[in-house]
Amino acid sequence: MLQHKRRLAFTLIELLVVIAIIAVLIALLLPAVQQAREAARRSQCKNNLKQYGLGLHNYHDTNGMLPPAGANWGSPQLGWQPKILPFMDQIQIFKKLDMNLATAWDTVMPDGRRARQINAPYTRCPSDPSNKIAAGEFNGWAQSSYGGNLGSQRTPSANGGCNQYMTPGVNYESTQGSADHGNTTSPSTLSGPFGRLGPTIKFAQISDGLASTFLVGEILSDCHDHDGGWWQYNGMGNAHASTAAPLNLMCTCPSLNTATPASAPRCFPGGTDCRTVSNWNYSWGFRSAHKGGAHFLMADGTVRMINENLDYQTYQRLGGRADGKTISNF
């Protein structure tokens, strides 16, 4: 009787078919996995801003005002973020700062690092590709993915040909936003709730409504030139983001270093190359690595994802705290 031998292996064609099927399945699953990961990152980013909201409201309840984002170039040279450390479950860091130093951020900590090199757990958005520690001035500043809202403020660039967003009443509030880069101690010339010279702002002075005024928003530190991070009054995480620049304007970001007037016309107004980070009319804007928008902490403590295609005038009004203008649904 004839006996048939049992085949124990795949043919080459069968193996190739199996590999092709697996490749197709991976290709189908990969976008879903990436979307799930980005959804998780967005959730973490949103939670970080909620933590800022709790800290800022607790600070205001205790001190009767928001934390000043500076001291009129005086001492100590701290931004508002270090001042809320005790209200963010980070009091051990705050207690070790030497407030007798003008540069309190340069305090040597027990582990040998300078205070300015330390990041708190909530300061980074997991989607932010920027460097966590900038290798600039003084060999390193811890960077934040979040900055205080300067408001609808005038932010002239170092290059005078790069002031595309400088029309009063359109790109910034003509009166309250008139102080260049928020360099004022008077709330009357500051559009938003934070200014780097430290004017005292209370919730009562956010007369447009806490639910319709930005308090803190997302930034990308690689697109900015103020290396002081979230520690220093002159750092980008302090009060160095205005709504004058449209949301998610990426002209000064490394990803557009190879851009051309044809591929990114907004970055080359009149043929002028405005991609340098010192062109503050562009770099002092809110932006994120999230597709289509950025998260903002509203003054009432809620967190909103703002679409980058939101009407520009509505965006301006959300930046200003007391422009007296009605905001429709956003």
| pLDDT, greater one: 159 or 10 | 159
| Predicted pLDDT of residue 31 | 66
Give the tens place of pLDDT for each residue, 219-248.
999 999 998 899 999 999 999 999 999 999
Element (H, E) at 296: strand 293-298
Q: Considering the chain, what is the average pLDDT of its residues? A: 90
Residue 256 has pLDDT above 90, yes or no: no
% pLDDT > 90, the chain: 74
Give the tens place of pLDDT for each residue, 44-71.
999 999 999 999 999 999 999 999 998 8
pLDDT tier for residue 9 given thresholds of 50, 70 and 90: low
Answering whether pTM is above 0.85, one says: yes
**Domain extent listing, the chain:** 36-319
Q: DSSP string spanning 28-72?
A: HHHHHHHHHHHHHHHHHHHHHHHHHHHHHHHHHHHHSSPPPS--T
Helix/strand number for the chain, H first, E second: 6, 7
| Predicted pLDDT of residue 137 | 44
pLDDT tier for residue 132 given thresholds of 50, 70 and 90: confident
| pLDDT, greater one: 206 or 7 | 206
Q: Is 26 exposed, middle or buried (0-12, 13-18, 19+ CB in 10 A)?
A: exposed
pLDDT tier for residue 138 given thresholds of 50, 70 and 90: very low
Residue 136 has pLDDT above 60, yes or no: no
